Amino acid sequence: MSPPNSMSPTSNNINGNGVAVNGGKLDFDPSAAPPFKIADIRAAIPPHCWVKSPWRSLSYVLRDLLVILSLAAAAAKLDSWPAWLLYWVAQGTMFWAVFVLGHDCGHGSFSDSWLLNNVMGHILHSSILVPYHGWRISHKTHHQNHGNVEKDESWVPLPEKLYKSLDTSTKFFRFTVPLPMFAYPIYLWTRSPGKKGSHFNPYSDLFAPNERAAVTISTLCWTAMALLLCYASFIYGFLPVLKIYGVPYLVFVAWLDMVTYLHHHGHEQKLPWYRGKEWSYLRGGLTTVDRDYGIINNIHHDIGTHVIHHLFPQIPHYHLVEATEAAKHVLGKYYREPKKSGAFPFHLFGNLVRSLGEDHYVSDTGDVVFYQSDPQIPKFPSATIKSKSS
């Protein structure tokens, strides 16, 4: 089923540039096979964009660490509610920045050293309660299968039959803002509806037998961090640990869920998902969406520049903007220029709310499908009243 604001490949002729021709009118069809190959995009990216500098990567780690320690010291010294509120938002954002650096380790874009990537990945991710190898492996699955309804791993659309089998409370928590923005810890333990396994269990079907030892190490590192927080709570008290670490952790989770969701949802024009022979690595990657986060771009290491990252995750984050600019002429209309943000990306909350209110499931049949809406989706009472009054 095609959305009202997109052209159906079956009802229009498609020219060689992926543009639908309809009664003399031209309209771009994002579900059409692109007229270029991934090698064409690769060739357009300057060679130095592929070079990984371990010292440069470590300098970002040092920068983030200094900011985190400074924020914690300032909040503890000021010790007032206005200071704590500012601290929680700022520190949670820095935790999210730390996650992105660990994410680079997982992709091998932090350095060319397997040992350095894994050591730094464990330090960075364990510090914010992420099981490094468990997440790294499932995230690799996401990259290898993005846009594939049957095989993708992250924020996968639910087929209609599965969606309609969910109970009311599950639909409510999955699609009612801001509740989905705190789903990440639950996802780590249980994955998404319709999928089984845990990022902590080395025998989960997420992992191959030869990956079990690595997953076990990451789970032990995560456990050590959790025990350290429990010990700190015993020594210093639960409330100080909650203020210094717990609330920023929740802000970090909200950032992670919002940014990763908006990488793949909420564009003004509905984008396709694929099955079977219609899916390819290139077509799936081209449905990724770049976002502008204002001053947050630099803080969270340009992870909003996501299309090129999805196609070539080996490129270090500090080359993504340049690589994207170099590739635009190849991508053409398959690249969707992000809406420019003010200092803070408040405009993205509108995209988030609209998408969660509209993008609920995809058809059980068809190899090129688009999100459909459930008009009966449960909402907060106030939202229901507002909807009826309008």
Q: pLDDT digits over 96-133, tens only?
A: 999 999 999 999 999 999 999 999 999 999 999 999 99
Q: Report the 10 Å Cβ neighbour count for 27.
A: 13
Would you say residue 123 lies in a domain? yes
37 within domain boundaries: no
The answer as to whether 239 is a domain residue is yes
- Please count the residues of the chain: 390
Query: What pLDDT, on a 0 to 100 scale, did the predictor assign at position 14?
Result: 42
Confidence (pTM): 0.90
Cα atoms found within 13 Å of the Cα of residue 155, Cβ hemisphere only: 24
Q: Is residue 315 part of a domain?
A: yes
Q: What is the mean pLDDT of residues 34-53?
A: 97
In a domain, 147, yes or no: yes
pLDDT more than 90, % of the chain: 83
Q: Per-residue pLDDT tens for 255-291?
A: 999 999 999 999 988 899 999 999 999 999 999 999 9
158-164-167 Cα angle (round to 5) = 105
pLDDT in tens, 302-329: 999 999 999 999 999 999 999 999 999 9
Tally of domains within the chain: 1
What is the pLDDT at residue 359? 95
Say if CB 313 and CB 303 are below 8 A apart.
no
Cα 367 to Cα 1, 86, 148, 280, 362, distances in angstroms: 10, 47, 10, 12, 11
| Environment class of 357 (CB within 10 Å of its CB; exposed 0-12, middle 13-18, buried 19+) | middle
**pLDDT value of residue 269:** 87
In the structure, what pLDDT confidence band is assigned to residue 27 with cuts at 50, 70 and 90?
low
Q: Tokens standing for 331?
A: 């991508």
Residue-level pLDDT at 376: 87
Report whether pLDDT(388) > 80.
Answer: no
pLDDT value at residue 194? 78
What does the pLDDT read at residue 195?
A: 84
Cα–Cα distance measured from residue 300 to residue 295, given in angstroms and rounded to the nearest whole number: 9
Conformation bin of residue 237: beta by default, left when phi > 0, alpha when psi is -120 to 50: left
Does a structural domain hold residue 163?
yes
**Which residues form the domain of 278?**
52-363
Q: What is the CA radius of gyration of the chain?
A: 22
* Residue where the block lists tokens 């021709």: 21
